[in-house]
Amino acid sequence: MDYRIALFIHVLSMAAWFGGLAVMAVWLRKAIANHESGISMTKSLQFVHNLNVRMMVPTALLVLLAGLYLLFGQGGAGGQTWLLIKERFGTLFLLVYIIGLPIFGGKILKSAQAASDANAMVPLVKRYILVLNVSLLIIAFILLTATIRF
């Protein structure tokens, strides 16, 4: 595979992943704000979790695979701080995201489905939103580090 194609796949997947996480967080915030007007928080949480598992996890896997291809094509980090952060911290975060978020989201979804009323679901949905927002901040930090290359 050509370096430019791998870079394109890496950047495109990263943008799609970042945008998808942001949309999911906004969707859940909207569900919390409008749960009295008929938008079901359980259905919204189920939709977001399914979107995360079926779309965002494979996208994150593409980011990981294309990034590893680019990294090994460059011969490793070679002591550059920005590449070390991107390589080690980014790869660790991607693995935690790919493995951990579907498990965490499934537990939150089961708890929300077992909740009796909408007010009991609000903290669960807010916890999912917090995880999405923290993921966005970590991705933004990695992007900033790779862009500035300090």
pLDDT (tens digit, 9 = 90+) per residue, 9-50? 999 999 999 999 999 999 999 888 887 654 578 888 999 999
φ, ψ dihedrals at 51, nearest 5°? -60, -40
Q: Domain residues for 70?
A: 3-148
Which residue, chain included where needed, has tokens 């779309």? 55
Question: Structurally, how many domains does the chain consist of?
Answer: 1
Q: What is the pTM of this model?
A: 0.84
Q: With beta carbons less than 8 A apart as the criterion, state whether 13 and 62 touch.
A: yes
d(CA 59, CA 79): 28
d(CA 81, CA 109): 39
